[in-house]
Amino acid sequence: MILERAPGRRGQRSLLVLGLLASLAAGGAAASAVEGAATGQVAAPKWRWRREDRALTLVGPSGPLWRFRYGPDLDTAYFHPLNTADGRTLTWDRPPDHLWHHGLWFSWKFINAVNYWEIDTRTGRPGGRTTWSNVRVETAESQTGRIAMDLAYRPAGEDVPVLTEERSIEARPPDAEGTYSMDWTLAFRAVQKVVLDRTPIPGEPGGQGWGGYSGLSLRLAAALAERAVASSDGPIIEMPEGRHRGRHTAVDYSGLVDGKPEGIAVLDDPRNPGSPTPWYVIRSAEMSFFSPAVLCYGPITLEADQRLTLRYRVIVHHGRWDSTRLNAEYAKYSRQTHESK
C-alpha cells in the first residue's frame, strides 16, 4: 500500500490512498515463473495494474480492460473505456452531442432545483458541483480491486454541501468466458433537506419526451451496430421516439463491434428503494444510452440527516444476453447480497 498526499479537488487537500496491487503483481509473477520453469521462460502476469495521473487502469493481454478517472479537473469521476476482454471498446466519453456523458458514471440531475448533470454554457461547468476526496484503492489475492471515495454535492460558489456520499466499487477480473463485473454501492446522507429530481416525463406538467434520466448511467460507443435491448421481462423492441421507460430487475444493452456481439448488463439490487427500479433507455440514430433511473417516475425527498443507499452490479460480457441469462445473473446477485448482510 502506497500513501500519496495530494492537493484536494479545487483547493481542498485530501489523502489519496492508492493500492498499486504489489501483492497481485508479485503473486502473478511467481505463478508465471513456476509455469515457465520447464521451458526456461517466464511469462508476464495476465492482468496488471497501471497507475497514471489521477487514473487507475487494469491492463490485460489486449490492452486496457477499464480505466477509472478521478482527476481534479473533472466534473465527475468515471470509467472509460470499458473494454471487452479482447480489447473492443463499449463506452464513449464526451460525445459531441452530450459533452457531459462519460462512459460509465453517476450523476444526479437536480438537487434542490440546481443542475448537477449538464454543463452551463455560460461557465462551461454544471451549476451543481460534485467533488471527491479520500480516494482509496485496495486489492486482494483474488485479483479483485475495491475503489472507495467520499463525495460532496454543493451549488457552485457554496462551501457547505447539501448532500454527501460514500461510494465503493468492487471490480473483478474477467472469468473464463471473458465476463467481468463491478458492484457499485452509493451511500448518500442529506446535510439539509434535499429534493432529488429530474426533468418531468410525458404525462406530467411540463413533461418532455426525453425526461426521466438521472443516476448511474452508460453512454455506449458510436461503433455499436445492430443494437438490441433486453430486460429481465423479455426483449425491449417497441421504443417510441427511441426511448423506453419501465421497471425491471435487470437490463442488457448489446450490439456488434467489429462484427462481434458484445454487451453490458446492469442489475438492480433488491434492497434499492422501489425495487424493481425504473429504467431509462435510449436507442436512437444518435445515441445508445441506458440507466437504472431511480428518479424516473418521481422525485425523492430526504430530510436533514436522512440516508439513501443505491446498489447495482454492472457486467461486461461477450454475446447478447436475454431474459433467461439476466434472471439467472440477478438471482446470483440477489443471493450474494443476502449472504453479505
DSSP strand pairing (180-190 vs 163-171) = antiparallel
N- to C-terminal Cα separation, the chain: 28
- How far apart CA 225 and CA 209 sit, in angstroms, is 24
CB 324 within 8 A of CB 221: no
Element (H, E) at 265: strand 260-268
- How far apart CA 130 and CA 173 sit, in angstroms, is 29
Phi, psi of 114, deg, nearest 5: -95, 135
The band of 48, judged by pLDDT with boundaries at 50, 70 and 90, is: confident
DSSP string covering 66-108, please? EEEE--TT-SS-EEEEEB-TTS-B-B-BS-TT-TT-BSEEEE-
pLDDT at 41 over 60: no
pLDDT of residue 32: 37
Find the mean pLDDT for residues 44-50.
Answer: 75
DSSP string covering 117-178, please? SSPBTTTTB-SEEEEEEEEEEEE-TTS-EEEEEEEEEEETT-SS-SEEEEEEEEE----TTS
Break the chain into its structural domains and give their ranges.
Answer: 2-339
From residue 149, give the alpha-carbon distance in Å to each of 184, 214, 254: 12, 20, 30
Q: What is the pLDDT of residues 65-83, one digit of tens each?
A: 999 999 989 999 999 999 9
Determine what percent of the chain is predicted with pLDDT higher than 70: 84
Q: Judge: domain 2-339, CATH 2.70.98.
A: yes
User: Average pLDDT of the chain?
Assistant: 88
In terms of residues, how long is the chain? 341
- How far apart CA 79 and CA 82 sit, in angstroms, is 7
Phi, psi of 112, deg, nearest 5: 50, 45
Element (H, E) at 333: helix 323-339
**Cα 327 to the center of its chain, rounded Å:** 21
Residue 309's contacts (CB-CB under 8 Å, 6 or more residues apart) are: 185, 186, 187, 188, 271, 272
Residue 231's contacts (CB-CB under 8 Å, 6 or more residues apart) are: 246, 248, 250, 251, 252, 279, 323, 326
Q: What is the pLDDT of residues 229-272, one digit of tens each?
A: 999 999 999 999 999 999 999 999 999 999 999 999 999 999 99
